[in-house]
Amino acid sequence: VSAKTGISWTDATWNPVVGCEKVSQGCKFCYAKTLHDMRHKAVLAGKGLPAQYAEPFERVQLMPDRLGMPLSWRNPRRVFVNSVSDLFHKDVPFSFVDRVVATMAQASRHTFQILTKRPERMQEYSAGLAALSRQARGVRIARSMYADSPVLRHIKDDTPGGCDWPLSNVWLGVSVENQTAADERIPLLLQTPAAVRFLSCEPLLGAVNLNGFVSLNRKCLNGAGLTPSLDWVIVGGESGQRKQDVRPMHPDWARSLRDQCAATRVPFHFKQWGDYTTTFDRDVDDPDWRRCDRASALTPGGNWLNLAGGQGFHGERVVRVDRVGTKRAGRVLDGRTWNEFPALPSLDAQGGKP
């Protein structure tokens, strides 16, 4: 359902869809799947839990009874849409996405943050809406609200009005765990009209170069042609259960993204280190390589990690990382927290209002 959340870049979660399927490396230890699987097992063992856990995680479930929830929240807040699913999963029909859009259009006091690993389907949905006149779009969205009631639907069809697209209170983002995901997903995001376009680089599994996706003059030349720049970048390391072999984030991958954002004045948000913390930086703590054995002995169970992502003492920018848990690892990067957010939504010329 909706919940206050510990996620530093949002205020609440709203889950009108439950369930998903893994699509890439970043999904390996999906927390939504881990939690759902545990509860699904408990239901099979006879425990009484909400009905959604009777189904396996991979069966995508639409939850129409949750569609109106944000309308009841009086104070404006940032709302992460579908923290335990992906709104653009193929099993979520566009007619249901229309209903989610209807809520977001009505609850304009909130800012909705939609994050996907399926930007091709997000783009397809958006293009379909953008092709309609404001009036026709309004009728389609209004009809969706009354999809369960044919009588009311006809009444609503007669209602004058329209619907903007993109909505100024909806931010669209893609998850990016490495350069491959960046090159595949960011161009699609940048071609999709939105008030704010953002990245969630979590879990960050490798270095990511944003060249062609961020720029000082807000326009970028990349594989998709001339596009707007990204508006916001979130970075985080992986966390998971003890038995899961979660992957550490090299500190320089995070620093590099921070520095690329600073150079192009893109707000940067460092969410967490994840389960690992850096306990030894060879270039700083042992530049002449004399104390590596001692460092090893001091941190039993830790991993060596080099900049290329390899596990081993040899390579560039070798650090030792230890698994201490997300809470202890914290979210301080080079002596400070990075809590930046985009400024007020600005609809640019390319992706702006119809």
Residues that bind ligand SF4 (CB under 6 A): 20-23, 27, 30, 32-33, 85-86, 117
- Residue whose CB is less far from ligand SF4, 28 or 255: 28
CB of 261 to ligand SF4, least distance (A): 23
Give the shortest CB-11-to-ligand SF4 separation in angstroms: 20
Q: How far apart are CA 312 and CA 320, in angstroms?
A: 9
Interhelix angle 134-145/150-157, nearest 10 degrees = 160
Please give the Cα distance from 306 to 214 (Å, whole number). 26
Phi, psi of 231 (to 5 degrees): -105, -10
Residue type, 92: V
Q: Compare residues 138 and 206 and give the one whose CB is closer to ligand SF4.
A: 206
Closest approach of ligand SF4 to the CB of residue 27, in Å: 3
CB of 322 to ligand SF4, least distance (A): 25
Query: Minimum CB separation from ligand SF4 for residue 269, in Å?
Result: 19
Q: Where would I find the H helices in 8-71? A: 31-44
Please report the DSSP string for 228-256 in residue order.
EPP-EEEEE-----TTS-PPPPPHHHHHH
Task: For residue 253, give the amino acid letter.
Answer: W
Of 33 and 250, the one with the shorter C-beta distance to ligand SF4 is 33
Of residues 60 and 333, the one with the C-beta less far from ligand SF4: 60
CA pair distance 56, 38, nearest whole angstrom? 10
